[in-house]
Structure 1
Amino acid sequence: MELDAIDQLAAQAFDGFIVRKDLVRRFKTQYPVPTYVVEFLLGRYCASVDEEEIQEGLQIVQRQLSDRAVRAGTEELFKSRAREQGSVKIIDLITARLDAKSDSYLAELPSLRLRDVRINPQLVQEHDRILTGGFYAEVDLLYDAIIAQENSGRPFGIETLRAIQLSKRDVLASLARGRALFTTEDWKKFLIRSIGLEPETLSQRAQDVVLLRMVPFVERNYNATELGPRGTGKSHLFQQVSPYAHLVSGGKTTVARMFVNMASGQRGLVCQYDVICFDEVSGVSFDQKDGVNIMKGYMESGEFSRGKESIRADGGIIM
């Protein structure tokens, strides 16, 4: 693949952080995971411009996705591996809930159709987003044959997981150093290309619209409404590109999930994510009558009141 001026500048400015989008497309349609999951693995093993290193990394990524991404119809195969080997590593969207009857947390792995998976409570405390929509992670799924023999036993368990997101804390300093090498125009093109679009094929207005969609990721409590025909990619950025955005499909949610659960005190989506996107603005609805009013007040002030407490959050709302 021939690198143009923007690619070469990016490789120089962000050595070790760059992945080629043509490699992303190679895996994206093969495995049932979002784009950012593929990019996470490519960034770990293929963040280079050396072709030999890239080819070696591609083999590792191919092997990991083949071994850990659960395709439709292979659920029982992965469960069997967990039983026979004692554990199996998978890549899946993991969520959890508090089971009051057993006073324990239970995880859900939708790819395996498992709803009652034991999970270490320490993991829930470290990753509280697991309680509000969840996130993609590399999960070490265990199987305990002794527990399986118990009445209503839950043999599957999770002791370790690795969230699929950037873990380096000094990334902003690295971005600032790299940004200094770009002109403003080149930086805009680089940002657009980084989400999988080619800036040269877009008009200036279209480029500005794409950049405007990125604002909620860096600006607190930034709200916006974008209207247009279905199937034109309006929600792509919020669904596929970043683990810090959450897409509410169909526009239906609950006050407890969106803001705060009064029973447990667990903070909702607006406290857990940078952006919450409703992909059907005409269908936005809540389980309680005051849900829309709470959301309107939050969009205006950046805070909401439930019970005696006034809670401030940073998440922007996009419709």
Structure 2
Amino acid sequence: MPTDFDALDQLAARAFEGFIVRKDLVRSFQGRYPVPTYVGEFLLGRYCASTNEAEIAEGLQIVERQLSERAVRADEQELFKAQARENGSVRIIDLLTAKLDTKNNVYIATLPSLQLTDVRIDPSMVRENDRMLTGGFYAEVELEYDPEIAAESAGRPFGVRTLRPIQLSQRDVLGPLARGREMFTSAEWRRLLLRSVGLEPEKLSERAADVVMLRLVPFVERNYNVVELGPRG
């Protein structure tokens, strides 16, 4: 269904290209694939971050195809492993974590959807995406299979050939946020924050908007406690 984008939507799309997601599009994927909702949101932000309806429709097809082909369901683990063996590699969407194997002085990755805990990964990938060492992140992973390594004693035939982060893979995200913020006036930024939590700022009184903004403070300020008092009953 076509959606009218006002000046604030247009400004947000320019300031945060690739990060703006229409929530109504998210509902079309919610619960259909074995990945968290925010994975679908991130893909929508990548392929549907536009105010052009034709581009959004094309992006939706890409997201649908990627989720259907690369999200691993519970009974498909061995199927994806077999595809990697038969074709040399396979692309999946999974939570990627890594750790240092101190005995062999190498990094190894974990892909839980395939129950793989000893996947080879290049150190440069770990350095460039250090969040995989602190809880990990979802990514599109091209997983390769090397039959020669499989024949070795204690060999690790599976390896990460390429990866494309779906979540932010680095911890420094305040820089892009600050640069985008510079494009807004204080009034526009306030309206964007209200809209981002599902409220239409034009339909709120000044006092109601102030109350909502105050409720957001504990999310960004430590040790800030709020008690709301209302009428009895």
Q: Give 5+ residue unaligned stretches, structure 2.
A: 228-233
Partner of 2:91: 89
In structure 1, the residue corresponding to 2:103 is in which secondary structure?
Answer: coil
How far has the Cα of 1:69 moved from its partner?
1.3
Q: Would you say 1:207 and 2:212 are equivalent positions?
A: yes
Q: CA deviation at 1:105?
A: 1.2
1:186 is matched by which residue type in structure 2? R
Q: Would the alpha carbon gap of residues 102 and 52 (structure 1) be closer, same or farther in structure 2, given more than 3 Å must change?
A: same
**TM-score, with length taken from structure 1:** 0.59
User: Is 2:18 the partner of 1:12?
Assistant: no
Does structure 2 conserve the Cα–Cα contact (< 8 Å) formed by 1:28 and 1:35? yes
What is the CA–CA distance in structure 2 between the aligned matches of 1:223 and 1:38, rounded to whole Å?
33
Q: Provide the identity percentage.
A: 53
Q: Deviations over 1:275-304 (max 9, x none)?
A: xxxxxxxxxxxxxxxxxxxxxxxxxxxxxx
Q: Provide the secondary structure at the position in 1 that maps to 2:118.
A: strand
Deviations 1:22-68 (A, max 9, x none): 11121121122233321221122111222222111111110011111
User: Within 1, Cα distance between the matches of 2:112 and 2:45?
Assistant: 26
Distance in 1 between residues matched to 2:11 and 2:127, nearest whole Å: 36
1:173 to 2:175 alignment: no
TM-score, normalisation: structure 2: 0.78
- Please point out which of 75, 78, 86 is paired with 2:77: 75
SS in 2 for 1:70: coil
Q: 1:42 aligns to what?
A: 44
Corresponding position of 1:144: 146
Q: Which amino acid counterpart does residue 191 of structure 1 have in structure 2?
A: S
- Assess if the C-alpha contact under 8 Å between 1:139 and 1:162 holds in 2: yes
Q: How does 1:1-319 map to 2 (within 5 A)?
A: 1=1, 3=3, 8-15=6-13, 17=17, 18-165=20-167, 170-177=176-183, 179-180=184-185, 182-183=187-188, 186-193=191-198, 207-208=212-213, 211-215=216-220, 222-223=222-223
Quick check: 65-74 or 31-40, which moved more?
31-40
Whether the 8 Å contact between 1:192 and 1:211 is mirrored in structure 2 is no
d(CA) in 2 for partners of 1:223, 1:163: 33
Match of 2:93, as an amino acid? I
Structure 1 gap segments, 5+ residues each: 217-221, 228-319
What is the deviation of 1:214?
3.6
SS of 2:73's partner is coil
**Cα distance in 2, alignment partners of residues 215 and 3 from structure 1:** 31
**SS of residue paired to 1:71:** coil
When residues 206 and 26 of structure 1 are mapped into structure 2, their CA distance, relative to the original with a 3 A threshold, is farther
Give secondary structure in 2 for the equivalent of 1:14: helix
Query: What is the RMSD of the two structures over their aligned residues, measured on CA atoms?
Result: 3.0
